[in-house]
Amino acid sequence: MFQVSIQSPFNNQPDYYNNCDADTAMELFKAIDWVQLYQTILASGDCPASPYYYYEVKRKNSLGEEETICISCMVGTNVCVGYFRPKSIQKRGLFKTKEVLDPMFQTQMDDVDIYFATGCLEAFLKGNTAYLEHNLYDKEEND
């Protein structure tokens, strides 16, 4: 089961949907018209109640560790995809390198199209972490 939270630019607090199945989580995502949201903000000429708006899904993996995917709006029609999960990383010490667990390791791609973001969400909902590890990499807006 998944916990979904959706932060609208027109509300101060996100809406929470607990114990969603994958189909419900995907329906909630597809109900968001990212382009229209951005155009509405531009047309209003005002700063939205929440300038950071997003769609976020959390789940527990097979080890009981929390994993999260977050899709947030960028300027224009593209979005940002962030993937948070526990991951072993190499840390250099003074004399040797050791492996440590980063409980909230993040990979974030800015300025991706909605089709790529949808594919990442589908993989997350199916538990296909190999797809996410292979296709997501740190990318800033101007890369």
pTM of structure: 0.84
Residue 43: what pLDDT?
81
Q: 73: closest CA among 13, 114, 16?
A: 114
Residue 140: what pLDDT?
59
- The per-residue pLDDT for range 16-36, each reduced to its tens digit, is 999 999 999 999 999 998 888
Give how far Cα 52 sits from Cα of 13, 55, 94, 132, Å: 11, 10, 40, 23
Distance separating alpha carbons of residues 19 and 1, to the nearest angstrom: 5
Residue 39: what pLDDT?
82
Q: Name, in order, each residue with C-beta under 8 angstroms of 56's C-beta and a sequence gap of 6 or more.
A: 4, 5, 6, 7, 14, 68, 69, 70, 71
Regions in the chain scoring below 70 on pLDDT: 46-51, 74-75, 139-143
DSSP state of 142: T
| Domain residue spans of the chain | 2-135
Residue 47: what pLDDT?
66
